[in-house]
């Protein structure tokens, strides 16, 4: 489990959307997290990403 800062930027991205594939293509480290499922949260570069169906 990752620690999330209260002031971290939060971004919701729908699984399979254009934004989802843009995130995967433009941010290599995000790709590892995105392979874990369709409903998840992870912190990357002080931003909390929520992937949802």
Taking 60 as the threshold, does the pLDDT of residue 1 lie above it?
A: no
CA–CA separation, 4 and 22 (whole Å): 23
pLDDT tens digits, residue range 29-42?
Answer: 999 999 999 999 99
Residue 23 pLDDT grade (very low, low, confident, very high; cuts 50, 70, 90): very high
pLDDT of residue 7: 75
Mean pLDDT of 11-19: 98
Helix intervals (H) in the chain = 18-26, 28-34
pTM equals 0.82
């Amino acid at each position: 489990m990752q620690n999330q800062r209260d002031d971290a930027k939060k971004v919701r991205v729908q699984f399979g959307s254009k934004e989802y594939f843009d995130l995967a293509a433009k941010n290599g480290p995000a790709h590892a997290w995105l392979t874990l499922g369709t409903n998840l949260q992870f912190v990357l570069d002080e931003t909390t990403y929520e992937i949802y169906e």
